[in-house]
């Protein structure tokens, strides 16, 4: 286990490696407990077709070769012709091959491979980390099915977290947004059947096309570590704007320095292996501090393996 982490972060001492194993086991145990306690249904564990998985594997392996070549050559702005046509519409920070992946987030081929690649990297724990967002949502909105609630997801990617949240709150309306048009198209196709309360929209989280006070909850998963500091602030400000008084804001993302001091060195090494240009700044600027800076209240957090979940409330303007 955790061979991929050892390769990604370089050499590590035995004690740190054992701590990683313990953290992974703790995350997966928490995931099982949440299902047993009804925080979210067993259906979140339904696997995809083994045939689809096997048919995708050669493409994942070939893209791994291309990623390795791109990393060796230091190429971070290499795009296909189709992906290149999208660049002028996007913020400058987004015009890159994040993780050295082919086309960055700017092709449907990239979107089709992305979740598979992430699960390989994190030894099958990525979905369990994503689902950390559901327990705080459940605590805030109770044990119901979400009827009458409207959620906004920023940075929905291929819709993986969207599916989990919709399964937990099947009658809540969810508007899932992402800056990438190809990724949001793939998400829409994947959840086109069986998720009638979910809508997908291409949108920039720092300039949301919604009215003030429109949502009961706003959340994101694995978004903030890929943003410059100013964009993190802007998205938090926009999230606060579109939330109702007393509304919920939450996110899951990488742990930051000080969350688990034993892993601080590993966090510093991570961007050396993957093209994550804003990660070092991310780990050094507390997201909880940014939440408070943007006027959120009752900030809380929890951790699971290499991720953390933090959540807060938009105070009432009348209070």
- Tell whether the model's pLDDT for residue 10 goes beyond 60: no
Nearest to 253 by CA among 210, 290, 214, 298: 290
pLDDT tier, 318 (very low <50, low <70, confident <90, very high otherwise): low
Q: What pLDDT is recorded for position 14? A: 82
Residue linked to tokens 């508007």: 175
Segments in 192-278 forming alpha helices (H) = 229-242, 264-273
Residue linked to tokens 């145990």: 29
DSSP 8-state symbol, 100: G
Nearest to 153 by CA among 190, 197, 109: 197
The CATH class for the domain spanning 3-44+124-313 reads alpha beta
Quickly count: other Cβ atoms within 10 Å of residue 33's Cβ.
11
Per the structure block, which two tokens stand in for 255? 């742990």
Residue 88: strand, helix, or coil: helix
Q: What pLDDT is recorded for position 3? A: 37
Q: What pLDDT digit, counting tens, does each position of 14-51 carry?
A: 888 888 899 999 999 999 999 999 999 999 999 888 99
What is the C-alpha separation between 188 and 192, in angstroms, rounded? 6
What is the C-alpha separation between 99 and 226, in angstroms, rounded? 10
Q: What pLDDT is recorded for position 269? A: 86
Q: What pLDDT digit, counting tens, does each position of 168-183 carry?
A: 999 999 999 999 999 9
Computed over its alpha carbons, how large is the radius of gyration of the chain? 19
Q: What pLDDT is recorded for position 9? A: 46
**Whole-number percent of the chain with pLDDT over 70:** 96
Per the structure block, which two tokens stand in for 305? 């393996």
- Tell whether the model's pLDDT for residue 6 goes beyond 80: no
Q: What pLDDT is recorded for position 5? A: 44
Q: What pLDDT is recorded for position 11? A: 53
More confidently predicted of 119 and 15: 119
Mean pLDDT of all residues in 281-296 = 97
Domain boundaries, the chain: 3-44+124-313, 50-121
What is the C-alpha separation between 86 and 211, in angstroms, rounded? 27
Mean pLDDT of all residues in 53-80 = 94
pTM, 2 dp:
0.94
Mean per-residue pLDDT over the chain, rounded: 93
CA-based end-to-end distance of the chain: 50
Q: What pLDDT is recorded for position 88? A: 93
What is the C-alpha separation between 297 and 291, in angstroms, rounded? 8
Q: What pLDDT is recorded for position 121? A: 87
pLDDT tier, 123 (very low <50, low <70, confident <90, very high otherwise): confident
- Tell whether the model's pLDDT for residue 193 goes beyond 80: yes
What is the C-alpha separation between 131 and 30, in angstroms, rounded? 10
Q: What pLDDT is recorded for position 308? A: 97
**Whole-number percent of the chain with pLDDT over 90:** 86
- Tell whether the model's pLDDT for residue 4 goes beyond 60: no
């Amino acid at each position: 286990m955790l061979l991929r982490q050892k390769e990604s972060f370089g050499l590590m001492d035995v004690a740190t490696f054992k701590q990683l194993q313990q953290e992974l086991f703790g995350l997966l145990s928490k995931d099982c407990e949440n299902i047993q306690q009804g925080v979210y249904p067993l259906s979140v564990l339904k696997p995809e077709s083994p045939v689809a998985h096997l048919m995708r594997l050669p493409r994942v392996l070939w893209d791994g070769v291309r990623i390795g070549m791109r990393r060796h050559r230091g190429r971070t702005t290499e795009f296909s012709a189709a992906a290149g046509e999208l660049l002028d519409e996007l913020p400058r920070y987004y015009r890159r091959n994040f993780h050295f992946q082919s086309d960055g987030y700017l092709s449907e081929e990239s979107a089709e491979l992305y979740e598979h690649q992430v699960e390989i990297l994190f030894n099958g724990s990525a979905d369990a980390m994503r689902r950390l967002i559901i327990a705080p949502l459940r605590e805030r909105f109770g044990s119901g099915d979400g009827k009458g609630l409207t959620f906004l997801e920023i940075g929905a990617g291929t819709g993986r977290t969207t599916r989990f949240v919709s399964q937990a709150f099947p009658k809540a309306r969810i508007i899932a947004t992402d800056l990438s048009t190809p990724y949001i198209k793939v998400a829409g196709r994947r959840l086109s059947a069986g998720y009638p309360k979910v809508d997908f929209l291409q949108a920039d989280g720092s300039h949301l096309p919604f009215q003030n006070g429109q949502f009961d909850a706003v959340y994101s998963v694995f978004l903030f570590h890929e943003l410059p500091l100013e964009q993190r602030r802007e998205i938090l400000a926009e999230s606060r704007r579109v939330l109702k008084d007393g509304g919920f804001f939450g996110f899951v993302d990488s742990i930051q320095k000080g969350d688990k001091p034993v892993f601080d060195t590993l966090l510093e090494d991570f961007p050396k292996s993957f093209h994550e240009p804003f990660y070092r700044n991310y780990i050094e600027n507390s997201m909880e501090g940014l939440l408070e800076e943007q006027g959120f209240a009752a900030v809380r957090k929890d951790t699971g393996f290499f991720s953390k979940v933090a959540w807060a409330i938009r105070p009432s303007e009348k209070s």
